[in-house]
Amino acid sequence: MHNHSTRSDGLLSPTQLIELAARTGVDAIALTDHDTTEGLEEAGRAAAHLGVTLVPGVEISVSWGMTTLHVLGLQVDPGAAELADGLRAIRDGRLERAARIAEGLAKVGIEATLEGALACAENKDMVSRTHFARHLVERGAVKDTQAAFDKYLAKGKPAFVPHRWAGLEEAIEWIRASGGVAVLAHPGRYDLKPAFRDEMLADFKRLGGEAIEVVTGSHRPEQYAMWQRVAEEHGFLASRGADYHGPGESPCEPGRLPALHASLTPVWSKWAH
């Protein structure tokens, strides 16, 4: 229930992603590109052709105070105006942010990265830190994309540029207005002290969030049990998703993660009968 394509920072086209799902025996897959639903039409055509069920989705970048959260919308209608307008508004800031990331890299001696990062991005308004990471690998500045984040691009590193994304309330509102379900992505990845984490979960629930990811390629296996407990205690539906970005970058392919524990109610119980 969580995968990327070249429409955001994935390496496979929507068609190639669905082909991979068909090859690996996945019967339902969500495409959840960052801040865009542009790939859903192509993915839908490939899914119909190959007999795979596509769950139309999106992963929205959200600012909650100083913390960036990712909120998945599953079963969204990409034609809904409120969602489309909201996503366009958050994409708009990305180019300018990219120029500032390039400035940050130049300050530590890695000059002229903007053009290279843009060349890695299919949609220039979706240029992301992942595209900078790939460009830094290409030019030999780091050994892999993870090192690019660890040395330069992650929060607290020299080329990190704080950015204002969507508000939590509005992101959930766009998802719900388009008929979708709001799912908190990889909750174990946010750097929040326990009191803030509880406040964030309470806000998410109060504002209409219905599910959290428990089993995800972005959690370490030893984190699954904790987020299972959180889902049970807070009354969230549970989701499972590879957060797949492409061969060589994501160790976990769609459909390869362990199943959700039987005590959890999967988010897809809302639509799959």
Q: What residues line the site for ligand AMP (CB under 6 A)?
A: 9, 34, 61, 128-130, 146, 149, 154, 245
Q: How far is the CB of 120 from ligand AMP (least distance, A)?
A: 12
Residue 119 gets which letter from DSSP?
A: H
Q: Does 33 bind Mn ion (CB under 5 A)?
A: no
User: Tokens for 135?
Assistant: 């460009």
Q: How far is the CB of 46 from Mn ion (least distance, A)?
A: 20
Residue 154's binding partner, choosing from ligand AMP, Mn ion, none, with beta-carbon cut-off 5 to 8 A by kind? ligand AMP
Q: Under 8 Å CB-to-CB from 88, ≥6 apart: which residues? A: none
Q: Under 8 Å CB-to-CB from 179, ≥6 apart: which residues? A: 75, 76, 77, 80
Q: Of 5, 6, 9, 145, which lies in the binding site for Mn ion, with binding defined by CB under 5 A?
A: 9
Q: How far is the CB of 187 from ligand AMP (least distance, A)?
A: 15
Q: How far is the CB of 124 from ligand AMP (least distance, A)?
A: 13
Q: Give the residue closest to ligand AMP by C-beta.
A: 128
Per DSSP, the residues of 64-76 read: ETTEEEEEEEES-
Cα separation, 33 vs 243, whole angstroms: 10
Q: Does 213 bind Mn ion (CB under 5 A)?
A: no
> Judged by CB, which is closer to Mn ion: 54, or 81?
54
Q: How far is the CB of 130 from ligand AMP (least distance, A)?
A: 4
Residue 146's binding partner, choosing from Mn ion, ligand AMP, none, with beta-carbon cut-off 5 to 8 A by kind? ligand AMP
> Judged by CB, which is closer to Mn ion: 35, or 59?
59
Q: How far is the CB of 117 from ligand AMP (least distance, A)?
A: 10
Q: How far is the CB of 249 from Mn ion (least distance, A)?
A: 9
Beta strands in the chain (DSSP E): 28-31, 53-64, 67-74, 166-167, 181-184, 211-216, 237-241
**Cβ of 223: how many Cβ atoms within 10 Å?**
17
> Judged by CB, which is closer to ligand AMP: 52, or 60?
60
Rg (CA), the chain: 18
User: Tokens for 210?
Assistant: 């219905």
> Judged by CB, which is closer to ligand AMP: 103, or 198?
103
Residue 216's binding partner, choosing from Mn ion, ligand AMP, none, with beta-carbon cut-off 5 to 8 A by kind? none
Local structure of 121: helix, strand or coil? coil
Residue 135's binding partner, choosing from ligand AMP, Mn ion, none, with beta-carbon cut-off 5 to 8 A by kind? none
Cα separation, 132 vs 116, whole angstroms: 8
Q: Does 243 bind Mn ion (CB under 5 A)?
A: yes
Residue 249's binding partner, choosing from Mn ion, ligand AMP, none, with beta-carbon cut-off 5 to 8 A by kind? none
The three-point CA angle 263-172-81 to 5° equals 130
Cα separation, 78 vs 82, whole angstroms: 10
Residues contributing to the site for Mn ion (CB under 5 A): 9, 59, 70, 185, 243
